[in-house]
A = this chain, B = another copy of it.
């Protein structure tokens, strides 16, 4: 309904009514078969989403918990190369700093990473290279396949944050050689926040350190998952698993192929809308730039503050989009195309953006609907 709030931030995403309904079910014993079945179905669907045969485990914790699980199980004083071109790349680096010696390869947020520099850093020898696949903070996608190739060449373990790509964009863990892929539930997977996952390669298993943090000890997850009846080492959030199971089923029903196509068209449509409204994307685009298919980052037009724009959209139309984070605060706004978004959601969001820009004298009245129409044309094209 037009008057209900529309949450259009890059996670937590709005959840499908089926997912919400599932979460009002009564508790079961997490050591019973009924829970094992839920756990296993979630894990096998994650394998489908990530295109991997690697073991996957679901942690009760947010994406940062799984990011730290990945790093802390592989690194103890070892050298890590962390690729940083946004807020979440920084987070991965900050986590790595707690466990190893880190070479932080920094590129301005939203600019393409320089593969030559990655190769130089790996050539010096590193146990692990960390990268964020889809950098939500800046609206760009990083070259996972290419970095995977370099990691193999220099025998480093490749740890990839797929938190905002998995379920919405193509992730090929096995083909790219991702040793640990991290996901979060509340983005393109359409599941509730509070669960995250890791997939673990054979090579990663062979390289595990002793005594990582207890709660994140992946060997314990493996042992529990391989018990007579698969389970989690610590009490899982049963409610969230109910929600995740339903989200996984929705993904299977739609198929990843159609899902990726829908996300891609959604993002292309938003970009077309921005162009039609005379707005500039944030990422610095050169021949290496790959824009994100799950979130679009846009520069705030001159004279319009973040508070004005997002405040007006929210108060006038009930539409909540995202602002910039940290150094991009007050400089950009972000529109996600994640999970179950529909043409109507996007039209409402873009229509609200147009209304606000007109009200703030940042868009000519004659341009009303230009963004929405450009979106529809691409999305339905």
Contacts and interface: CB of A to CB of B under 8 A. Distances in A.
Contacts of A15: 26-27
Contacts of A243: 239
Contact of A7 (B9, B28, B95, B236): B28
A64 interface: yes
The 7 A-B residue pairs whose C-beta atoms are closest, nearest first, are: A194-B237, A24-B24, A64-B234, A12-B27, A213-B213, A20-B24, A192-B239
Contacts of A30: 12, 193
Interface string A213-245: 111100000000000000000111111100100
B62 A237 contact: yes
Contacts of A11: 235
B12 A20 contact: no
- List the number of copies, as a whole number: 2
A62 B234 contact: yes
Interface residues of A, number: 51
A12 B34 CA distance: 14
A380 interface: no
A117 interface: no
Interface in A238-262: 238-240, 243
Contacts of A5: 28
B27 A213 contact: no
A214 B27 contact: no
Interface string A2-40: 000101010111110000110111111110100000000
Given A26-B20, A236-B194, A237-B240, A214 B68 contact: yes
A131 to B, nearest CB: 17
Contacts of A62: 60, 215, 234-237
A235 B64 CA distance: 8
Nearest to A27: B12
Given A27-B13, A27-B15, A216-B213, A194 B234 contact: no
Contacts of A24: 20-21, 23-24
20 contacts: A5-B28, A7-B28, A7-B29, A12-B30, A13-B27, A14-B26, A20-B24, A20-B25, A27-B186, A27-B192, A60-B194, A62-B235, A64-B234, A68-B213, A97-B211, A98-B214, A192-B237, A195-B237, A213-B213, A237-B237
